Amino acid sequence: MPMSEDKRAPELWRQLQAGASVLAAVRAGRSGGEALEAVPDSLRPGVQALVYAALRQLGRAEALRQLLASRKPPPAVDALLCLALALAWRDEGAPYEAHTLVNQAVESAKRTPATRAQASFVNACLRRFLRERVALVAQTDADPVARWNHPAWWIARLQHELPTHWQAVLEANNRQPPMTLRVNPRQGSVEDYLATLQAAGIAARRNGTAGVTLAQALPVTQIPGFAQGRVSVQDAAAQLAAPLLLQGWEGRSGLRILDACAAPGGKTAHLLELADAEVVALDIDVQRCRRIEDTLQRLGLQARVLAADAGQPETWWDGRPYDAILLDAPCTASGIVRRHPDVRWLRRASDIAALAVQQARLLQTLWPLLAPGGRLVYCTCSVFRAEGEEQVQAFLAHNKAARLLPAPGHLWPSTTPQGESVTDNRSSDHDGFYYALLEKGAG
């Protein structure tokens, strides 16, 4: 909505000013979420929307900026230019009309100490962009980073690993994700909750066994039953973890389950919604453990929450084997970049190998904690095979007592813009994930 249509909203130049600072922080290596915490509460929702939209188009914006100014400007100026160009380079999906974005970006440059001295330069670059937009965009079309808005190494890796549908995965990554809820079966069925939403005038559809996807995202304060624990926000792919671990054990009580790397607690809660079990939820970060506790409190569920390193069980394990272990291992998060668009620009190609080593260590360390006949779900929110299929095959080669059971394997994010399902994808709209289910034999 143009600024003039909603006088209650903060001025756009203020949002662009804050957004440029967030973008500069991401380019300096900070996470977008961390950088957004420094933005005033009154600005944060609008700034987040603008920054996330810009991060999904940053490759194009950087290519355009190079045409407009071959010599890279200072970080604050470059961030403001790239933010404006990312939001204005095409009319489709733009939050504001191009001239409005340019005018307000120039106003932001004039009012910001770090950019004021180069406000005329910002003005000249962006005015030229408005005059020559079609030609400038056409010049960048041949650049893969501009075309796909991912780092070159990322594009090349997907081309190699997914030769038939790498384009669809990249396109899906650049789309805004839906808001999907997980219905708590202890408080009613999916059908009952869909009826509640319909009565409230909220359009939604079923997504998977326990999921409901809203036609339009809402603040959690406006979601019926959220505060009372009737639903939780969780992507449809993440909702597969708990049922996969518990399948065939329906109605079995007294299970002893470890949720390693558990924060923020969505999968821990799902396990407890589905089974009367003794669950240990582990995470290395104390603050993130508090998020697990908050999640469980809202849902009226209980688990033993421990702040500890899953890779050092000698510091926290009581010696009693677990019937089931959920290892949602640290990974590149390459499967959730539509939800966290900063990830693609923060990751480096070398991160994959480093994280694969960590994943292998966690698998080998936690496997002895599993009772014979027990199960371990290994999952990552990654689309790279080194963090999924290749990791599990290497583990199986060195652990003859492990047996691979049927599981989803690699899930690719969402669908193409034309609505065609990505090859090997499930029919629902979800993030990218990998799932393996391992059973421990007696040997």
Model pLDDT for residues 307-329, shown as the tens digit of each residue: 999 999 999 999 999 999 999 99
User: pLDDT digits over 204-233, tens only?
Assistant: 999 999 999 999 999 999 999 999 999 999
**Percentage of the chain exceeding pLDDT 90:** 92
Residue with tokens 């059971």, as numbered in its chain: 405
- Residue 191 and residue 23: Cα distance in Å, rounded? 42
Q: Average of pLDDT values for 58-86? A: 97
Residue 267 phi/psi, 5° resolution? -75, -35
Residue with tokens 């900026």, as numbered in its chain: 65
User: pLDDT digits over 331-366, tens only?
Assistant: 999 999 999 999 999 999 999 999 999 999 999 999
Peptide bond just before 163 cis, omega within 30 deg: no
Diameter over CA atoms, the chain: 73
**The predicted structure's pLDDT at residue 47:** 97
**The predicted structure's pLDDT at residue 428:** 65
Residues 57, 104, 101, CA angle at the centre, nearest 5°?
35
- Residue 313 and residue 366: Cα distance in Å, rounded? 8
Lowest mean pLDDT, pick from 52-56, 80-84, 251-255, 360-364: 251-255
User: pLDDT digits over 104-149, tens only?
Assistant: 999 999 999 999 999 999 999 999 999 999 999 999 999 999 999 9
**The predicted structure's pLDDT at residue 1:** 41
Catalytic residue among 125, 261, 289, 381: 381
How far CA 353 is from CA of 335, 413, 433, in Å, comes to: 16, 22, 18
- Residue 323 and residue 310: Cα distance in Å, rounded? 17
* pLDDT class of 70 with cuts at 50, 70, 90: confident
CATH number among 1.10.940.10, 3.20.20.80, 3.40.309.10, 3.30.470.10, domain 3-147 = 1.10.940.10
Q: Average of pLDDT values for 75-103? A: 97
Residue closest to 341 by CA, chosen among 35, 66, 74, 15: 35
- Residue 58 and residue 49: Cα distance in Å, rounded? 14
- Model confidence at 88: pLDDT above 70: yes
CATH topology for 238-440? Rossmann fold (3.40.50)
Helix, strand, coil abundance in the chain, percent, nearest 5? 50, 15, 35
**The predicted structure's pLDDT at residue 414:** 64
* pLDDT class of 426 with cuts at 50, 70, 90: very low
Domain definitions of the chain by residue range: 3-147, 180-233, 238-440
User: pLDDT digits over 157-212, tens only?
Assistant: 999 999 999 999 999 999 999 999 999 999 999 999 999 999 999 999 999 999 99
Residue closest to 338 by CA, chosen among 180, 182, 224, 185: 180
**The predicted structure's pLDDT at residue 422:** 38
Domain 180-233 sits in CATH 3.30.70.1170: yes
Mean per-residue pLDDT over the chain, rounded: 94
Chain centre to alpha carbon of residue 260: 19
> Which position has the higher pLDDT, 77 or 93?
77
Helix/strand/coil for 257: strand
* pLDDT class of 442 with cuts at 50, 70, 90: confident
- Model confidence at 6: pLDDT above 50: no
| Residue 330 CB contacts under 8 Å (≥ 6 apart), including other chains | 261, 355, 358, 359, 362
User: pLDDT digits over 264-300, tens only?
Assistant: 999 999 999 999 999 999 999 999 999 999 999 999 9
- Residue 281 and residue 91: Cα distance in Å, rounded? 46
**The predicted structure's pLDDT at residue 429:** 86
By CB atoms closer than 10 A (0-12, 13-18, 19+), residue 68 is middle
- Residue 235 and residue 431: Cα distance in Å, rounded? 7
- Model confidence at 443: pLDDT above 80: no
Active site residue 82: no
